[in-house]
Amino acid sequence: MKISIGSDHAGFRYKEAIKAHLRAQGHEVLDFGTDSDASCDYPKYIRPAAEAVAKGEAVCGIVLGGSGNGEAIVANKVKGIRCAVCFSLDTARWAKGHNNANVISIGERTVTQDLALQIVDTWLATEFEGGRHLNRINQIEVA
């Protein structure tokens, strides 16, 4: 599976760990940066990662920051993106199962690295439930 990934400086360490984890599982990872933990402007890296998903260049995406909130806000401004902040295995399951999130956001300052990897695996393994949830999602128009 082709997965896009992007982070700001506060999510850089986890981005690198998640990237290695995904590649070890055989996934192709499109890394949109950042390339260090030096302070940076996160939209510069998050928006291209989300756009890759919206354009079909990647099946899904992962964005990271300190809390994950700002990154989710930026990703959700891209038409066609449904980005959920995930901070537990339940939020990862619900993001995909209920909301069909095609991008998730994780905060490096909010979860352990081991939990972040488990969140990614759980989200990728979860199937969208469809049905009534699909109808609600398709009725929402995002500008």
Q: Which residues are catalytic?
A: 71, 98
What does the alpha-carbon distance between residue 42 and residue 47 come to, in Å, rounded to a whole number?
Answer: 8
CA distances from 59 to 5, 53, 55, 141, 143 (A): 11, 6, 9, 21, 22
Q: Are 97 and 127 in contact, with CB atoms under 8 Å apart?
A: yes
Tokens of 28: 């192709």
What does the alpha-carbon distance between residue 87 and residue 4 come to, in Å, rounded to a whole number?
Answer: 19
